[in-house]
Amino acid sequence: EDQVTQSPEALRLQEGESSSLNCSYTVSGLRGLFWYRQDPGKGPEFLFTLYSAGEEKEKERLKATLTKKESFLHITAPKPEDSATYLCAVMDTNDYKLSFGAGTTVTVRA
Amino acid sequence: GAGVSQSPRYKVAKRGQDVALRCDPISGHVSLFWYQQALGQGPEFLTYFQNEAQLDKSGLPSDRFFAERPEGSVSTLKIQRTQQEDSAVYLCASSPRTSRNTGELFFGEGSRLTVL
């Protein structure tokens, strides 16, 4: 069974204070690892897909990286508008549905 | 442009009542998923449709849960005889892709169900 563990559960940052979120996963075979952003009262919004170890993707102040056991979401010089819950999910090679972690809630103070 | 639309956004039901939650996916999207999200948790898979065919319903918690997508567009998730443990946000997501290329999903804002 696919397992996804995210840490920390919550992260409070000062504006401009860079940090990283961790997503550890266990799958029989990885088809893809996905990062989503979820704002309160909203549905998740797709950010990135990573397919193989060593791959990196960037979008504005966010950069996602992937190893064979975990993924990191780096937030560089965050702004208050980066405050959200960040969800990590995996898709097994033998499947088509996502298995999500519980998320990391990031709060950025001005 | 129109995204995934869900209704109602909020539903309060008394224990034992039946509820129906509606999802309007993005026009032309082949794949449609229902997920359940408990407070403080990530979404959990319920069921998957490819066009009108329900290809996987393995995540439905019990036979009180039923989903349909009769014309391959709008979908309805029905919960019969609601229980308190059914309280959650029910998320609908769609994708223009099929089967194993469905990781990049477009989610609706969800229907928050509270069972008293």
pLDDT in tens, A55-103: 999 999 999 999 999 999 999 999 999 999 999 999 998 888 999 999 9
Question: What pLDDT sits at residue B99?
Answer: 61
What's the whole-number mean pLDDT along residues B91-110? Answer: 87
Statement: residue A34 has pLDDT above 80: yes
Domain assignment present for residue B27? The answer is yes
Domain assignment present for residue B59? The answer is yes
Q: How many residues does chain B have?
A: 116
Are B56 and A102 a contacting pair at CB < 8 A? Answer: no
Instruction: For residue B100, name the pLDDT band (cuts at 50, 70, 90).
Output: low
Chain A nearest C-alpha distance from B53 (Å): 15
Domain assignment present for residue B58? The answer is yes
Question: What pLDDT sits at residue A2?
Answer: 85
Question: What pLDDT sits at residue B101?
Answer: 67
Asked if A101 reaches chain B (Cβ–Cβ under 8 Å), the answer is yes
Residue from B9, B10, B24, B45 to probe the interface with A (highest A Cβ count within 10 Å): B45
Task: Please give the residue range of the domain that contains residue B48.
Answer: 5-99
Domain assignment present for residue B10? The answer is yes
Give the CATH superfamily of A16-94: Immunoglobulins (2.60.40.10)
Statement: residue A1 has pLDDT above 90: no
Backbone angles phi, psi at A80, to 5 degrees: -55, -30
Statement: residue B44 has pLDDT above 60: yes
Contact of A64 with A22, CB cutoff 8 Å: no
Statement: residue A23 has pLDDT above 80: yes
